[in-house]
Amino acid sequence: MAQGKSTVEPVTIDVQNIGGIDQTSVEIDPGISILTGRNATNRTSFLQAVMAVVGSNNATLKANADEGAVDLELNGETYTRNLSRQGDQVITDGDPYLEDPTLADLFAFLLETNECRQAVANDDDLREIIMRPVDTGEIDRQISELEDEKDRIDSKISTLDEYSNQLPQLESEKRDIEDRISEKEEKLANKRSQLEEIDKGIEESKKENEELDTKMTKLQQTRSRLNSTQQEIQSERESIDALEDDLTDKQSQFDDLEPIPDGRVSILEEKMQRLRGQVEEIEQTTTELQSVIQFNNNFVNEAKPEVVSQLHSDPDTTDGAVTDELLSTEEDITCWTCGTRVAQEQIESNLEELRSLQEEKIQKQQSLKQNIKELQNEKNDLQERQKSYDQLERSIERTETEIDERRETIESLQSKEEDLSNEISQLESDVESLQEEDHSEVLEVQERINYLEFELQDLKSELDSVEDEIESIQDQLGEREDLKIQREDVIAELEDLRTHIEQLQKQSIAEFNEHMEAVLDLLGYDNLERIWIERTQESVREGRRKVDQDRFTLHIVRSNESGTVYEDTVDHLSESEREVTGVVFALAGYLVHEVYERVPFMLIDSIEAIDAKRIADLVEYLEGYADYLIVALLEEDAAALGESYSRITKI
């Protein structure tokens, strides 16, 4: 949380043309700083200036100025924020303390329009406020990627397990082939020895049979080529069978998919663009309304002191005139737009209407943002479906092309097979003719030797194939342990991502309930026993689907004079109770998202509905959660706080 005060230095904030401030420079000490004075003039404006230099866009430029600026000197660094009027818009630039003010706006800048306070007051979805800084879409994307990675690893491990189960059979097959090779080699050696014995006495006969040897050798080679060709044909057929099975599966998946209607994504994008435009217009309107409300508040509060000052400065004014003027200012005020005298109640009534309009605009803005979110979800869903549709369609086309190519290869190999078979038939006929010319023992032995050599060659080729397969499996099995470790890492990362949101929700509820209980005990509201949050679920629509979505439900528990407890509703909270609950809810978000690590300030305004003693207790409770806690209070409320706290009375 906040650093120790001994390590935090005072900060200097220079402000020009922000809200109702012309120009000022204020030094803020660490700890609690109280902005107080006879009226609210410039207190809220100063808080807006602090917000602006930190990075917030919820600050207003002085109505009669075209440019404004805020400078912050903090820990030896200077941060700046410039505001300039361009037409109907106010443009900001500079080097603020934060690039993204979302966390600060939600949980550290607790002015009247703060969304945490408004959400409690309006009984809105508290979970959406707490979870807004979390990029759930990015978390879902990472989870999807990790699930795909886990499936890939599982598939690889499963394949390796199948290979491992094949090893005993392959080893047995290898031993069987080796035994058969040994047997053939032994028979071949015997036949060669037999041939050598015969050749000693019939050298001339051997020369006469050279043609037969040539034919036998060629026959052996041709048979070997035929065998290889037949194996190639078989391999291609097996590949086609596997591809056709794969094609059937893909075609079935493809038939289950529906193509995305043309232009549907563009239509959704156009809708979102229109809604974003409406959101921007409403943001501009609410900013302008805030400026008008602030200006009129300041005007009403300053009207009477200005009249008194004018009367004292006029020596010709009689005592009776002074009395008349003062009596007049109790009910009437000179309108700043037309110069006529109007009842103060009328201006205050108009201000109330403006506040109601501003609240209506804020609610409309939240509704539009929810619509944009739903349209974005639908767009993402459509794009993901179209991507799957296109990928599967391309995969089917590639598989069909590969099947056609392999069928063409088979046709070519079958033609080659037929040619080789014809050639073998001719060679066998030639050998048979030559054998009929000489049925000597030499020819019979030579034929047997050639046949054994052919069989031996086939067996050795078969052995090489089995050994290569065994070696390949053993090499791949070496990856299995690495894959298992990798799989555990992926599972752990998945678990972290899946539980991140869950843990954040639980922690938010726990923080709120704990601090709410402590604050209620401290402030001592009559018949208010407990305020707590419960996580519930409701069915909402996302695109075309209905899904269950978590919601934070706020419970109010009261007791009557007899001590009986009963559950009440948020609508029945007093304004004081509502403001306290809103501040504590913001504190829960402040702690859960560790805002104190990023933002040194916590700002509080517009808590006059709480009585002075409770304000003092609440402010002291919040001390220590931020390096600089700046609170705007009326003089009578500030009096309840100890004199040890820094007070800023002139801005």
> Would you state the pLDDT for residue 491?
92
Please tell me the distance from the alpha carbon of residue 295 to that of residue 285, in angstroms, as a whole number: 15
Please tell me the distance from the alpha carbon of residue 65 to that of residue 19, in angstroms, as a whole number: 10
Q: Is the pLDDT of residue 160 over 80?
A: yes
SS3 category, 64: coil
Q: Is the pLDDT of residue 3 over 60?
A: no
One-letter amino acid of 301: N
Range in 129-138, 142-151, 303-312 the model is least confident about: 303-312
Nearest Cα residue to 241 out of 412, 407, 469? 407
Q: Is the pLDDT of residue 283 over 60?
A: yes
Options 3.40.190.10, 3.40.140.10, 1.10.3760.10, 3.40.50.300; CATH for 1-123+594-651 is 3.40.50.300
**What is the SS3 assignment for 396-427?**
HHHHHHHHHHHHHHHHHHHHHHHHHHHHHHHH
Q: Which two tokens stand for residue 504?
A: 């954040």
> Would you state the pLDDT for residue 52?
96
Q: What is the pLDDT of residues 170-195, one digit of tens each?
A: 888 889 989 999 998 898 888 888 77
Please tell me the distance from the alpha carbon of residue 133 to that of residue 593, in angstroms, as a whole number: 8
Give every CB contact of residue 562 below 8 A, 6+ residues apart in sequence.
none
Please tell me the distance from the alpha carbon of residue 371 to that of residue 364, in angstroms, as a whole number: 11
Q: Hey, where are the domains in the chain? A: 1-123+594-651
Please tell me the distance from the alpha carbon of residue 386 to that of residue 336, in angstroms, as a whole number: 60
Residues present in the chain in total: 651
- Long-range Cβ contacts of 135-141 (<8 Å, 24+ apart): 136/501, 137/380, 139/497, 139/500, 139/501
535 bridge partner residues: 552
Label residue 73 by pLDDT band (50, 70, 90). Answer: very high
Q: Which two tokens stand for residue 7?
A: 């390590």
Please tell me the distance from the alpha carbon of residue 201 to that of residue 618, in angstroms, as a whole number: 124
Q: In 467-494, which positions are buried (b, 16+ CB within 10 angstroms) versus exposed (e)?
A: eebbeebeeeeeebeebeebbeebeeeb
Label residue 45 by pLDDT band (50, 70, 90). Answer: very high
Percent of the chain with pLDDT over 70: 89
One-letter amino acid of 18: I
554 bridge partner residues: 533
Label residue 451 by pLDDT band (50, 70, 90). Answer: confident
> Would you state the pLDDT for residue 24?
94
Q: What is the pLDDT of residues 400-447, one digit of tens each?
A: 999 999 999 999 999 999 999 999 999 888 887 776 655 556 677 777
15 bridge partner residues: 24, 70
Range in 262-271, 615-624, 631-640 the model is least confident about: 262-271
> Would you state the pLDDT for residue 307?
41
Label residue 389 by pLDDT band (50, 70, 90). Answer: confident
Label residue 315 by pLDDT band (50, 70, 90). Answer: very low
HSE (side-chain half, CA atoms, 13 Å) at 425: 6
Q: What DSSP character marks residue 625?
A: S
Please tell me the distance from the alpha carbon of residue 348 to that of residue 297, in angstroms, as a whole number: 9
HSE (side-chain half, CA atoms, 13 Å) at 9: 8
Q: Is the pLDDT of residue 18 over 80?
A: yes
- Give the global pTM: 0.53
| Burial (0-12, 13-18, 19+ Cβ within 10 Å), 180 | middle
Label residue 331 by pLDDT band (50, 70, 90). Answer: low
| Average pLDDT rounded to a whole number, residues 154-170 | 85
Label residue 112 by pLDDT band (50, 70, 90). Answer: very high
Contact 355, 293 (CB under 8 A): yes
| Average pLDDT rounded to a whole number, residues 196-221 | 70
| Burial (0-12, 13-18, 19+ Cβ within 10 Å), 199 | middle
Contact 514, 582 (CB under 8 A): no
Please tell me the distance from the alpha carbon of residue 598 to that of residue 594, in angstroms, as a whole number: 8
Q: Which residue has the tokens 């504590």?
A: 584
> Would you state the pLDDT for residue 329?
45
Percent of the chain with pLDDT over 90: 37
Label residue 259 by pLDDT band (50, 70, 90). Answer: confident
Q: Is the pLDDT of residue 294 over 90?
A: no
Q: Is the pLDDT of residue 274 over 80?
A: yes
> Would you state the pLDDT for residue 605?
94
Q: Over the chain, what is the mean pLDDT?
A: 85
Q: What is the pLDDT of residues 332-348, one digit of tens each?
A: 676 666 667 777 788 78
Q: Is the pLDDT of residue 93 over 90?
A: yes
Please tell me the distance from the alpha carbon of residue 406 to that of residue 181, in angstroms, as a whole number: 34
